[in-house]
Amino acid sequence: MEKGNFEKYFQRYFKGYRFMKSHYFKGELVLQSPLHLGSGEKGDYIDSLVLREMDGVPVISGTSICGIMASLSKKRLRLEKVPIEDIDAEPVFKALFGSASEERNGRNEGRESRLIVHDARLLPASMGTSFIQDRTSVNRERGSAEDKHLFHDEVVSSKSRFSFSCVFREKNVIDEEKTLQDHGRGPDKEAFHLFLDVLELMEKGWASIGGKTGTGHGEFTIENLNCFVFDSSNPDDVLKFVLDGVDALEQIDLTSLKVNLKTSFIKTSCLSGDKYPGPEVLIIKGVLRPIDPIMVKTAYSLESVNYKGAKKEEEQPIDKLRNLPTFNDLVSVDSGFCLNAEGIPYLPGSSIRGCLRSHAERIVRTMIFERFKNNDHFKNDRDGRFTLEAIWDLEKLKAKGKEFKKAAFDDVYDKACMISKLFGFPAMGGRIYCSDAVPIDVNKFKNRLKLLDHVAIDRFTGGAAHGKKFNSRPFFPFYETSKFPENNDLPDDSGDMCFKIEIHDFKLWHFGLVSLLLKDLHNGRISVGFGKNKGFGRVKLLPGHTRMEAITHSKGVLSEMATTHTSKVGGFLYVSETIKPDRYFWISPENGILYEVVKNAVSSFSEKVLEWTPENTIPEAEIK
């Protein structure tokens, strides 16, 4: 149809209708860490498969992305003093995301969202390799893997690229949005401003998607984002859209889009007290250096597949797993290092997080011991169960999870132990996230992987137990001195691995406990992985390589640090700070404001421990 004829057709059949603008956003969703978005299905030897299209290509559902946007929107609205329990009813939030059900015109009706989010499909040129990750539970009393707690999950590798597209549609004002309209800005502008803030947070990588986010999975950024405007009242735009699609529409510069919007959120609610911690995120990036041999072993003996010595019964299940990495030698290895899709050894975030949790439990139990060691009740407690009252062991975690499954958040949080308030448990998510630790120089790291033989000893004969010989391939650090290394000596950099820790929506004492964990990590007091009783697993937070960044707000825990190195990201204050570690702590007094914040945080944690009283163990009158 010619342009002139189309305009006549358009005016004839659509005259009198009110049309609104739509903003089309297109870009790429780039994974910064492995992604596990479960499909709810199981494989023959895999407990959880990733979500895939009909042709078997991994996909990220639009509902998952929209859910992340809604979560970020709620955090953004909390900056405007909107109570967390009222956010779903906030006019701006409902204007953007709609409502499943609400009372309108005397009946229960739904409301359409202004936002449409499409499925993110794997781009053809992207890697998109999937691989198998193992995870297990650790028994707190034995310190070893819990029986029958080994799981195999399929994950999509980092650096995979997915398409990203969404649409923001303006629409007529409805009765419930009259509050926004009365203030002269209107629901379209308010909702659009909120949406742009959320997009900015996603562009900068301040969000995660999918499962296992507590172990560093699902981190992503949005790249190459473009915006196209479609005015359905303009015949030219309609013709371009019909003939050539979105890319033929007018493109708008995103940097000036929010500036030209000239709007701010309407404040329709008042915060009735600091009931919940403010929305803040702190990221601590560092370098771990193994100072002992170290290995986190995979469940399958991957290196033995199709090689000499491979067990016949292993070939069938492993042959069915996708893209399992192996080494290119002909040695059968019973316990191999964890490998990702590119065949790179790494320390899983789940292992690091588990070791940090276990060490945090020891810190709390030690402080409780020092406080009550002169108490008569404690002297009779030979098995140490008294100090366990301050934390929940693995069995209590399961029992409490079932007990609080349908309870309100306040009840769950108030009754949780100190460790569970930071790390979470089955009825409540944690506030701390740990990423995988990946070697900085892969070739150097692989060159230090050495074959090691093991054998079990028969306790009766004193000789080798029959059929108990096995081998492994751990990483061995190299010390440049020929003698036994001194306490302050460090091996070379062949084992250096980059990692990061995130804390979300935290209180001051949460940060204090994490600071103590980093102090012990800096001093090499925390072990990770296989063979701790054999002298394996100690790692050290490398001095001089620690960096911190955060998003906070004017009344946040880290607000004092926002006086320098600050910019705005999605309505939050963004703080970028370089840390200068001290010899005995992960920061030094030279850090000024940051050092004072950490010192206050540690004091806050100490006060939190002093507030603890054992339930049904010692009468309150006896507690000093």
Q: What is the mean pLDDT of the chain?
A: 78
Q: How large is the C-alpha radius of gyration of the chain?
A: 28
Question: In angstroms, how far is the first alpha carbon of the chain from the final one?
Answer: 88
- Cα–Cα distance for residue pair 158/31, rounded to 1 Å: 5
What does the pLDDT average to over 67-73?
Answer: 93
Q: Is 402 helix (H, G, I), strand (E, B) or coil?
A: helix
Q: Can you give the pLDDT at residue 475?
A: 92
Helices and strands in the chain: count of H runs, count of E runs: 16, 22
Q: Encode pLDDT of 211-261 as tens digits.
A: 878 888 889 999 999 988 888 777 777 777 777 777 777 788 877 777 767
Q: Can you give the pLDDT at residue 533?
A: 79
Which range (146-155, 165-174, 268-277) has the least confidence? Answer: 268-277
Which range (173-177, 286-290, 380-384, 451-455) has the least confidence? Answer: 380-384
Residue 302 has pLDDT above 80, yes or no: no
Residue 368 has pLDDT above 60, yes or no: yes
What count of Cα atoms within 13 Å lies in the side-chain half-sphere of residue 8? Answer: 5
Q: Can you give the pLDDT at residue 442?
A: 92
Residue 503 has pLDDT above 70, yes or no: yes
Q: What pTM was estimated for this model as a whole?
A: 0.83
Per the CB < 8 A criterion, the answer to whether 43 and 49 are in contact is yes
Residue 321 tokens read as: 């797993």
Q: Encode pLDDT of 181-193 as tens digits.
A: 776 678 888 889 8
Length of the chain: 624
What does the pLDDT average to over 148-173?
Answer: 83
**Residue 473: band (very low, low, confident or very high) from pLDDT cuts 50, 70, 90:** confident
CA 29 to chain CA centroid, nearest Å: 16
Which residues pair with residue 285 across a beta bridge? 500, 547
Q: Can you give the pLDDT at residue 268?
A: 53
- Please give the share of the chain, as a percent, with pLDDT higher than 90: 23
Per the CB < 8 A criterion, the answer to whether 464 and 458 are in contact is yes
Q: For the chain, what are the domain ranges?
A: 21-261, 281-298+335-611
DSSP track, 206-252: --B-SB-GGGTTTBEEEEEEEEEEEETT-HHHHHHHHHH-GGGSEEE
Q: Encode pLDDT of 396-439 as tens digits.
A: 888 888 888 878 777 888 888 889 999 988 888 889 999 999 99
- Cα–Cα distance for residue pair 403/291, rounded to 1 Å: 42
- Cα–Cα distance for residue pair 533/579, rounded to 1 Å: 33
- Please give the share of the chain, as a percent, with pLDDT higher than 70: 76
Which range (274-278, 375-379, 520-524) has the least confidence? Answer: 274-278
Per the CB < 8 A criterion, the answer to whether 271 and 77 are in contact is no
Residues 98-122 as b/e (b if ≥16 CB within 10 A, e otherwise) read ebeeeeeeeeeeebebbbebebbbb
Residue 408 tokens read as: 């309100």
Which residues pair with residue 107 across a beta bridge? 104
Crossing angle of helices 235-244 and 3-14, rounded to 10°: 120
Residue 110 has pLDDT above 90, yes or no: no
Q: Is 139 helix (H, G, I), strand (E, B) or coil?
A: coil
- Cα–Cα distance for residue pair 595/444, rounded to 1 Å: 35
Crossing angle of helices 508-522 and 349-372, rounded to 10°: 100
DSSP summary character for residue 347: B
Which residue, 286, 287, 295, is CA-closest to 448?
Answer: 295
Among 7-11, 423-427, 482-486, the range of highest mean pLDDT = 423-427
Per the CB < 8 A criterion, the answer to whether 156 and 34 are in contact is yes
Is the sign of the CA dihedral 236, 238, 243, 247 positive or negative? positive
Q: Encode pLDDT of 46-65 as tens digits.
A: 666 777 777 778 888 899 99
Q: Can you give the pLDDT at residue 17?
A: 44
Q: Can you give the pLDDT at residue 319?
A: 41
Per the CB < 8 A criterion, the answer to whether 161 and 30 are in contact is yes
Residue 497 has pLDDT above 90, yes or no: yes
Q: Can you give the pLDDT at residue 281?
A: 92
Residue 350 tokens read as: 């789940």
Q: Can you give the pLDDT at residue 540?
A: 92
Q: Can you give the pLDDT at residue 318?
A: 40
